[in-house]
Every structure is written in C-alpha cells, then in structure tokens.
A and B are shown apart, each in its own frame.
Chain A
C-alpha cells in the first residue's frame, strides 16, 4: 500500500480529515497554532525529542503497558454463547490493553508528556488545560509538577462536584483548579474557559488539550502521542498470538484513547474496529453524549466535526454517567473514519456501562474507569457472536478509583 492510499496519511496540510477538522479559531490564536505546527514538525524530525519522550514514557509513565489476556471474562462470556452456524464454539478471546496501569491511572499521561516537551521547546512558561473527569487535569498537573511549570486547570463546577478525589489530586500536585460556572458546568464549558484564558495569555501560555480534537495540529499531535498504545498492542499481540486481532474496541468521548489504539491498525483490512459512544439514558432520549449517532456536522472548539446541536446550530448538552465522555462533540478523525466507514461506531448506555463495570470487577479483579466500561459493554455484545479462536483487544483506558462514588450512588449503595 502506498502512502497516498494509506488511511494513516490524514490530515492534509490544512489539517482537514476529509470534510472534518481544520482551524476554526479566533485570529488572535491563529499565529500561535501555526507556530505550534512548525514546532511540532521540527520536534518530529529531532531524534533528541523522540529519545527524551521515549525515556519518560518508559521510566516515568511505566510503559510498555501490559496486554493482558482476560481469561475469566472470556470464559464467562463463552458460557452464555449460542453455538455458531456450523456448530463451532463461540466467544472470542479478550485482551485488555492496560492503560489503567500507567502513572496517574489512565492513557492521558501519554499525550501530556509529549505536549509539555513541546511547551518547553517553544519557551512557554505557563500551562493550562481543561478537564472533564479530571484524568486529563491530573495528568497535566503531574507533568507540570515534573517540569516545574505553573499550571491552571479549568473544570466545570458540576464535574468538580462529582470528581472530588481528582480535584484534590490536582491541588496536591500544585495546580490551581479553576471552577467554571457557565453553561452546564461540564467539559464543554471548561474548554470554552480555557480558550478564553489562552487568548488573553498567548505570549507565555501553552494549552495542553486533552483529547484528539480542537484546531489543527492538536488532533494530529494528540493522536501521534497516543499511538504508542496501538503500536505496543500490535507488537504484543503478534508476539503472543502470532497474528493480528479480529476486533479492536475503545470508548469515545473526544476519542484520544480510541484513535491511539486504532490508528496503527487502520491499514490492516482484516482488523475490524469499533468505537463506543456514551448513550447515557438512551439514544431515544435527549440525555446522551453520542455525537455520531445523534449529532450532525458543525463547528465548535476549533474544528469541524459531528456535534450535538439543535436546528439553529446551538450546542445541546451532553449527558453520560462518565464525566470523561460527557462532551457534545468528537475528534475530527473519528468523524472522518465514520464517514468513510473504516471504523464502526456503536454506543452503550449508563446502565450497560455500570453492568460491564461490575462484571470486570468480579471476573478479573480490575476496577475499570466508567469510560472504558462503555467499551467493555460493547465487548460483551460482540464476543459471544465471534468464534472462540478470534481475538478482541479492548482499550482499558483508565482505572476506576475516581468513579467509586458515582457508581455507589448509581447502585444505591452506602459507602
């Protein structure tokens, strides 16, 4: 396959993934993101940058993360499986890519390490970031502490309420957590406020965007920093099984953990790929966060992508039990992969995610974050319809310690 035909050659020079992506920002920010793009190209060509990144990923983040065969989960799902059309035994082998074992407990740190090295290259002396569940905020506060840079995290007041442990972690790490009280007081509003701060402090501030969205080059560079997930998983499954997986599964808010797993496999036509959006109370209600299933193309936060919006182009509120998926948009590369049909997108409800959350706790002794619990919910649907010699890799993008209060509340349990 030539590079021109590769699905991995996006975006184009203007930062467009097909009809999505782009640089929809105020003029004040435009020179800055052009600078960032130049600096990123220089860093990509600089072996010293890559060497420092690799060293930090190994010794500070703790990579490579394990690819773990979830034997009991696999067995439990096989028990309920009907035989296949030719009487074959059903129930695919399920592997978990253990991003939950990274330093700070999620995949977010992969991207933060890369971006703070860029910030340092550009001579920026102050870091800002938005956060929803708090995982990206914690990861950003962590790298800011590690590199000795002051850091301000914008977080919706409602998310601060439902993610208290992460708020305290950020403060322990020396970050200022600024509550955002506009709008629904969640991730979208935190991103608005971070953009307002950035535009007023362009001279010294670097904005570490947490997902593979925003104006070009962010969707590309966040993806590139997260692709370590897919590159490792590819090598690990080849070493372990001697072949590529049949199906990849990951949850999608903005979609950085998903694109990080998917991208190194996009040119492997036999690998099916499934992204899972948050269906909240159900796609037939107005309380969900599935922008592909329930949204339409539009422009927000620097890029053109699928958005939850009304007929007048006003953005509607997303809902998910998982604060990390509670966003009315999706990264532009996912919008493109959906458009061309290379990746299939489904959804899982709050209830399905809660069920899958408990299933993993009890079968594997692993408490997943509510975000990848959505991916696990889709796995429970698909594994039984696949033969037992087939392989699924699911991205376990974060650990669930932060979610135990939410889960207790949803289950009506006393802590």
Chain B
C-alpha cells in the first residue's frame, strides 16, 4: 500500500475526510518552503501537493500565477524542489507528498529521468495538469514504472462515457475539479459537488478529493461530509503571499490557517452524526 492510499484508508476507517493542501514550491523563496511544509504537517494536513512552478500556468488563477512567478524569480529549479522533497521525506516519513504542475518541466529531461528522480526524493504521486489520459505515454508509463501514483483529474465536463478512460492507469486518489475554470475563483454549489462525488464513486474505488474554489473552513467542512478529501490551494497560497508581504512568518500564518481547515474537515461528519 502506498503512503497515499494508506492515508486515505486510515481516514476512512475513522470516518473522516482527508485535508489535501497545495503550496507552490519556492514561494516566497526556496529556503522558506521547508518551514511551510512543516507548518502544514503541524496544522493537521493529511496530503501535501507541492506545486512545481512554471512560466506559463495556463490552468491557474491570479494567486497561483503570481506564486509561480515569485518562485521562479527566486531561482527555484527542479533540482531545488527535489532536494526540498528529499529533506521533507527524511523528516516526515509517513506524510504523502505529491508533485503538481505542468508537463514541460516534468518531461524536459525525459519522463524516465523525472520519474526516477521523484521516486528517489520520496515523492508519492504526480498530478500533471496538461497530460490528459490520451497522452499518458508522455509521462504516466514512466511514473507507474517508478511506483509513483498517477493522479488524474475529473471535471464537470468529464461525462460517464469518458470517465473510464480517465480512470485507466490512475491511482492514489481521483481529484475532482468541481468547477469548469481556473484555480482560486468561484466555488461550485454543494449539491452539484455531492452529485458528482456519488457519480464518481460509483465508477471507481479510488478515494475522491474535491478542489478548486474552496477557501474557508465552512466550505471545506461541507465538502468533507460527502468526499474522501478536500483540496485547498489558492487560499493557502494567498495566506503565504499576504504574510510575506507584511513581513510576517509565512509558516506561522499557514499553520494557523490550516489548523482551522483541518478541524473543520476532520470533524465534519461528527456534526452530521450529532
């Protein structure tokens, strides 16, 4: 069992959803990222998505676009990020770490190189925004060969006929992008999220984590009642940007924010039961 599947299984056994948190590696600077990752763990995050910055983040809204530019402006490279990951893995042997980003930095030195380097750094899964199932041989085969989970995205436009193709070769969890749009913008209606999760869970045994547009503990708690995981990205990235701009410690701000998110996600089903 991989770190990702055992983490979701543990949460499921306790009738709790998992909190999945996204931050951009190297934002506000590579030296700060390890302290932010520690803060995510201390705040109760179950799975961490570490964003690989890219010059052209086509699926991201303004918050993560700017984080990408800040990270690259601070000299963040693939090597920097793999070193951060390896250091994290030594310190936190059980916390799943997922790399999320765009195809070009991942395939630059060849998919085999990337898969092996990621595995050596203790990476558990990869989400590549612009490699859909149709182009799986560009990256997915190499990742599976290195025992890294290929985490696929399903969206409101993914219909029942297409879903099996998306699920073929996927592992770890299924990331449901709850709105057709870019990161950090509007949130989907709770009823449409619940319907979608029911539909997806009928088609796969993989845990389903829901993201895009989730900004507050209240929204996260609502989703945690129906999904196996809740993904929060832009709101955390915003928290980091605001703290850094004000001269405060981003890690402290992140810890405080994700603690409130984790409480809401982990206790969501207790409230329903009560």
Asked whether, in the complex, the Cβ of A299 is within 8 Å of the Cβ of B103, the reply is yes
The interface centre, meaning the residue of B58, B61, B106, B180 with most chain A CB atoms within 10 A of its CB, is B58
Q: Does B107 contact A (CB under 8 A)?
A: yes
- Knowing A192-B56, A192-B58, A314-B55, the reply to whether A27 touches B181 (Cβ < 8 A) is no
Known pairs A31-B157, A314-B105; A199 contacts B181 (CB<8 A): yes
Pick from B72, B104, B179: contact of A309, CB below 8 A.
Answer: B104
Question: Would B56 and A299 count as touching, CB distance under 8 A?
Answer: no
Within 8 A of B (CB), among A5-45: 14, 22-32, 34
Whole-angstrom distance between the Cβ of B166 and the nearest chain A Cβ = 7
Stretch of A264-272, A300-308, A366-374 lying at the B interface: A300-308
* Known contacts A199-B181, A200-B182, A314-B72; A24 and B131 CB within 8 A of each other: yes
A182-B65, A196-B58 known; A27 vs B104 contact (CB < 8 Å): no
SS of A interface (majority): mixed
B182 touches A32 (CB 8 A): no
B17 to chain A: closest CB distance in Å? 22
Is there a chain B Cβ closer than 8 Å to A188's Cβ? Answer: yes
Query: Does B135 reach chain A (CB closer than 8 Å)?
Result: yes
Any chain B CB within 8 A of the CB of A56? no
Rounded to whole Å, the gap between the CB of B104 and the closest CB of chain A is: 4
Instruction: List A contacts of B185 (CB < 8 A).
Output: 200
A311 close to B (CB within 8 Å): yes
Known contacts A192-B56, A299-B130, A315-B55; is-contact A199 B182 (Cβ 8 Å): yes
Report whether A27 and B77 are in contact in the complex, using a CB–CB cutoff of 8 Å: no
* A312 sits at the interface (CB 8 A): yes
Contacts of B105 on A, CB cut-off 8 Å? 312-314
> Among residues 54 to 112 in chain B, which have CB atoms less than 8 Å away from a CB atom of chain A?
54-61, 65, 72, 77-78, 102-108
B155 close to chain A: CB less than 8 A = yes
- Inter-chain contacts of B162 with A (CB < 8 A): 30-31, 34
A183 within 8 Å of B by Cβ?
A: yes
Is there contact, CB below 8 Å, between A301 and B58? yes
Cross-chain contact B135 with A311 (CB below 8 angstroms): no
B252 proximity list for chain A (CB < 8 A): none
Q: Which positions 170-207 of chain B face chain A at CB distance < 8 Å?
A: 177, 179-182, 185
Contact mask for chain A residues 301-339; partner B; CB cutoff 8 A; 1 contact, 0 none: 110100101011111000000000000000000000000
Q: Which of A32, A298, A311, A313 contacts B157 (CB 8 A)?
A: A32
Nearest neighbor of B106 in chain A, beta-carbon distance: A313
Contacts of A298 in B (CB 8 A): 104, 107-108
B224 to chain A, nearest CB (A): 23
Q: Mark A181-205, 1 if CB is under 8 A from B, else 0.
A: 0110000110010011001111100
**Contacting residues of chain B (116-175) with chain A, CB-CB under 8 angstroms:** 129-135, 138, 152-159, 162, 166
Given the known interface contacts A27-B158, A31-B162, the answer about A302 and B130 at a Cβ–Cβ threshold of 8 Å is yes
Q: Is the CB of A26 within 8 A of B159?
A: no
Residue of A nearest to B134 (CB): A23
Bin the interface of chain A by size: 35 or more
Q: In the complex, which residues of chain B have a beta carbon less than 8 angstroms from the beta carbon of A199? A: 59, 180-182
Are B104 and A202 closer than 8 Å at their CB atoms?
A: no
Bound CA–CA A220/B2 (angstroms): 42
Max chain A C-beta neighbours (<10 A), residue from B78, B105, B132, B159 = B132
Measured between beta carbons, the chain B residues less than 8 angstroms from A23 are 132, 134-135
**What is the distance, in angstroms, from A206's C-beta to the closest C-beta of chain B?**
15
The distance in angstroms between the C-alpha atoms of A311 and B106, with both chains bound, is 11
Residues of B within 8 A of A26 (CB): 58-59, 129-130, 132, 153, 155
* Bound form: Cα–Cα A304–B106 in Å: 13
Contacting residues, chain A, for B60 (C-beta < 8 A) = 196
Nearest residue, chain B, Cβ from A16? B135
Q: Are A27 and B182 in contact (CB under 8 A)?
A: no
- Complex interface: chain A residues within 8 A of B104 (CB): 298-300, 307, 309, 313-315
Q: B107 and A313: CB pair below 8 A?
A: yes
A24 x B77 contact (CB < 8 A): no
Cβ–Cβ < 8 Å partners of A192 in chain B: 56-58
Q: How far is the CA of A28 from the CA of B100 in the complex (A)?
A: 17
Output the least CB separation between B254 and chain A (Å).
Answer: 25
Query: Contact between A27 and B135 (Cβ–Cβ < 8 Å)?
Result: no
Alpha-carbon gap, A202 to B177, bound state (A) = 14
Q: From the candidates A27, A29, A311, A314, name the one contacting B166 in the complex (CB within 8 A).
A: A27
With A26-B129, A200-B180, A202-B157 given, can you name 20 additional A-B contacts, CB distance below 8 Å? A24-B135, A26-B153, A26-B155, A27-B152, A27-B153, A27-B177, A28-B181, A30-B133, A31-B157, A183-B55, A196-B58, A200-B185, A203-B180, A298-B108, A299-B130, A302-B130, A304-B138, A309-B104, A311-B108, A314-B104
A interface list, Cβ under 8 A from B: 14, 22-32, 34, 182-183, 188-189, 192, 195-196, 199-203, 298-302, 304, 307, 309, 311-315
Q: Give me the 4 closest cross-chain CB pairs, A-B, nearest first.
A: A313-B108, A200-B181, A313-B105, A299-B103
**Sample (16) of A-B pairs whose CB atoms are under 8 Å apart:** A23-B135, A24-B132, A25-B132, A28-B59, A28-B156, A31-B157, A189-B56, A192-B57, A199-B59, A200-B181, A202-B180, A298-B104, A299-B131, A312-B105, A313-B107, A314-B72
